[in-house]
Amino acid sequence: MSVRDRRKRFLGQALYSNRSQIALRLLTREKRPIDRAFLAERIQTAADYRRQVVQDSEAFRLVASEGDVLPSLVIDRYGEYLVVQTLSQGMERLKPIITDILQEKFSPRGVVERNDVVVRSLEALEQAKGVLSGEAPEEVIVSINGLRFAFNLLEGQKTGGFLDQRENYRAAQSYAFGRALDCFTYAGGFALHISRCCDSVLGIDSSQDALRLAQRNADLNGISNVEWKEANCFDFLKAADQAGERFDVVVLDPPAFARQRSNLDSALRGYKELNLRGLKILNPGGYLITCSCSYHVTEADFLETIASAAVDAHRTVTVVERRTQGRDHPILLTVPETLYLKCLILRAL
Pairing of strands 179-183, 247-252: parallel
Residue (90 or 326) nearer to ligand SAH, CB: 326
Q: Which 316-345 residues touch ligand SAH, going by CB under 6 A? A: none
Of all residues in the shown chain, the one whose CB is closest to ligand SAH is 189
Residue (71 or 326) nearer to ligand SAH, CB: 326
Distance CA 15, CA 24 (A): 6
Residue (32 or 212) nearer to ligand SAH, CB: 212
205, 248, 301, 328: residue in contact with ligand SAH (rule CB under 6 A): 205
Residue (27 or 187) nearer to ligand SAH, CB: 187
Distance CA 50, CA 71 (A): 18
Rounded least distance, CB 309 to ligand SAH, Å: 17
Please say whether the beta carbons of 236 and 229 come within 8 A.
yes
66, 76, 253, 328: residue in contact with ligand SAH (rule CB under 6 A): 253
Rounded least distance, CB 271 to ligand SAH, Å: 13
Rounded least distance, CB 91 to ligand SAH, Å: 25
Distances 212 to 187, 194, 204, 206, 273 between C-alpha atoms, Å: 8, 19, 12, 12, 28
Helix 89-106 to helix 36-53 angle, to the nearest 10 degrees?
Answer: 70
Distance CA 237, CA 39 (A): 47
Contact between 228 and ligand SAH per CB under 6 A: no
Please say whether the beta carbons of 117 and 159 come within 8 A.
no
Angle value at C-alpha 146, between 145 and 149, nearest 5 degrees: 85
The neighbouring-strand residues paired with 290 are 252, 344
Number of Cα atoms under 13 Å in the Cβ half of residue 153: 30
Please say whether the beta carbons of 137 and 83 come within 8 A.
no
Please say whether the beta carbons of 63 and 74 come within 8 A.
yes
Contact between 287 and ligand SAH per CB under 6 A: no
SS (H, E, C) 283-348: EEEEEEEEEECCCCCCHHHHHHHHHHHHHHCCCCEEEEEEECCCCCCCCCCCCHHHCCCEEEEEEE
Catalytic residue among 183, 233, 291, 293: 293
Per rule CB under 6 A, count of chain residues that contact ligand SAH: 20
186, 228, 247, 271: residue in contact with ligand SAH (rule CB under 6 A): 186
Residue (71 or 188) nearer to ligand SAH, CB: 188
Burial class (CB in 10 A: 0-12, 13-18, 19+), 145: middle
Contact between 187 and ligand SAH per CB under 6 A: yes
Question: Which region among 25-33, 41-49, 84-92, 202-210 touches ligand SAH (by CB under 6 A)?
Answer: 202-210
Question: Which region among 22-30, 143-151, 184-192, 271-279 touches ligand SAH (by CB under 6 A)?
Answer: 184-192
198 is a catalytic site residue: no
Question: Which region among 39-47, 141-149, 205-213, 341-349 touches ligand SAH (by CB under 6 A)?
Answer: 205-213
Q: Which 144-183 residues touch ligand SAH, going by CB under 6 A? A: 157, 161-162, 165
Residue (103 or 207) nearer to ligand SAH, CB: 207
Chain residues binding ligand SAH by CB under 6 A are 157, 161-162, 165, 184-187, 189-190, 204-207, 210, 232-234, 253, 255
Give catalytic residue positions.
293
